[in-house]
């Protein structure tokens, strides 16, 4: 069991065995989280700062609960309200925070690569909670854990990722992770929302959702951002729902035991029919939220172990 990362900036730098290590540890945290007494002290004495330059309720809450369950001192900073409005650069913000000696820094930023940039300037472990359209590694890890628990394995599965791939960091991280674990990945969506060069990633691309869902084990839906709906990328919300919204008819092309996933928050009636989202035999959407906390606990635990193994003067 090895995990050699200093930060969790993306899925791209992770080895398959590191992913397995993290998911195995997360299983233990699922068990812990289901007990009445949910507390552990593996992060006690450590300071976790959540820095969100972009609005988020769910991911931020998930990271906050994960840190608190492990005994860290957790602090939230709503960055969109504070210093960037005063003209401070990202690096200055990072240096200011660094002087407060955090141990774990959880960052979300609207620009691709911004979290990498910040990680170069601080001494603590940085967790990427989503950067632009680049990566959202904990989302891909929680999706992987959900799939592994539902399907009993995380390899040789047919998985369809559907919807707005172009603007989705969730899609990128998932494609990378699922391919590292040797699954077949299909992308399904309107060609305006499939980024260029995607076929070179070794994925199959489908415009027709019924064909794209043929015999898949997992259907992963993506959120369609409101601002993409009117005319720019797709003709209209109702045409999108007709062609790429997940309903019972389209889902019937997948394997009978195929699971349905969604990273949330959902637009019912836009990308997914409400009754499918609520179908406890198919939908694992609530389970994904639960796995999110466990995966984030595991990620912070592993990074903290590496942090504690380093000489203290480096983190001073």
Show binding-site residues.
58-59, 86, 108, 136, 139, 169, 223, 264-265
| Closest approach of other proteins to the CB of residue 31, in Å | 35
Output the CA–CA distances (angstroms, integers) from residue 224 to 7, 141, 194, 215, 221, in the order listed: 29, 21, 13, 24, 9
If the CB atoms of residues 78 and 91 are measured against other proteins, the closer one turns out to be: 91
Is residue 313 a contact residue for other proteins (CB under 8 A)? no
Size of the site for other proteins (CB under 8 A): 24
Stretch that binds other proteins, among 106-114, 261-269, 271-279, 296-304 (CB under 8 A): 106-114
Is residue 51 a contact residue for other proteins (CB under 8 A)? no
Nearest to 126 by CA among 313, 307, 310, 291: 307
Q: Which uninterrupted H or E stretch holds 160?
A: strand 158-162
d(CA 130, CA 151): 26
Nearest to 267 by CA among 210, 207, 221: 221
Stretch that binds other proteins, among 88-96, 151-159, 263-271, 294-302 (CB under 8 A): 88-96
Position among 11, 70, 72, 114 found at the interface with other proteins (CB under 8 A) = 114
Token pair, residue 161, equals 């990722």
d(CA 92, CA 61): 26
Output the CA–CA distances (angstroms, integers) from residue 301 to 13, 17, 32, 35, 38, in the order listed: 18, 17, 14, 19, 15
Residues 170-199 that bind other proteins (CB under 8 A): 172, 195-198
If the CB atoms of residues 87 and 256 are measured against other proteins, the closer one turns out to be: 87
Match 């065995």 to its residue by tokens. Answer: 17
Position among 54, 65, 98, 111 found at the interface with other proteins (CB under 8 A) = 111
Position among 90, 106, 157, 295 found at the interface with other proteins (CB under 8 A) = 90
Is residue 113 a contact residue for other proteins (CB under 8 A)? yes
Q: Where do contacts with other proteins occur on this chain (CB under 8 A)?
A: 12, 89-91, 109, 111-114, 116-117, 131-135, 169, 172, 195-198, 200-201
């Amino acid at each position: 069991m090895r995990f050699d990362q200093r930060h969790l900036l993306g899925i791209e730098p992770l080895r398959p065995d590191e992913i397995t290590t993290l998911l195995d540890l997360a299983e233990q945290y699922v068990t812990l989280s289901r007990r009445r007494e949910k507390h552990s002290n593996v992060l006690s004495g450590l300071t976790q700062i959540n820095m969100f330059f972009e609005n988020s309720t769910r991911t931020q809450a998930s990271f906050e609960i994960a840190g608190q369950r492990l005994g860290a001192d957790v602090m939230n900073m709503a960055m969109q309200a504070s210093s960037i409005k005063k003209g401070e650069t990202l690096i200055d913000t990072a240096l200011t925070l660094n002087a407060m000696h955090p141990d774990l820094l959880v960052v979300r930023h609207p620009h691709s690569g911004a979290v990498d940039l910040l990680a170069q300037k601080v001494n603590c472990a940085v967790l990427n909670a989503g950067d632009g359209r680049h990566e959202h590694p904990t989302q891909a890890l929680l999706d992987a854990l959900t799939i592994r628990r539902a399907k009993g394995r995380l390899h040789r599965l047919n998985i369809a990722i559907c919807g707005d791939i172009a603007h989705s960091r969730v899609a990128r991280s998932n494609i990378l992770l699922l391919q590292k674990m040797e699954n077949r990945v299909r992308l399904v969506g309107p060609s305006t929302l499939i980024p260029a060069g995607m076929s070179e990633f070794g994925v199959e691309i489908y415009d027709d959702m019924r064909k794209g869902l043929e015999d898949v084990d997992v259907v992963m839906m993506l959120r369609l951002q409101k601002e993409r709906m009117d005319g720019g990328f797709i003709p209209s919300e109702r045409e999108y729902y007709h062609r790429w919204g997940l309903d019972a008819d389209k889902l019937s092309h997948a394997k009978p035991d195929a699971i349905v996933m969604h990273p949330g928050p959902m637009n019912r009636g836009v990308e997914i029919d409400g009754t499918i989202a609520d179908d406890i035999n198919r939908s694992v959407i609530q389970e994904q939220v639960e796995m999110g906390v466990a995966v984030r606990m595991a990620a912070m635990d592993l990074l903290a172990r590496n942090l504690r193994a380093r000489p203290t003067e480096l983190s001073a």
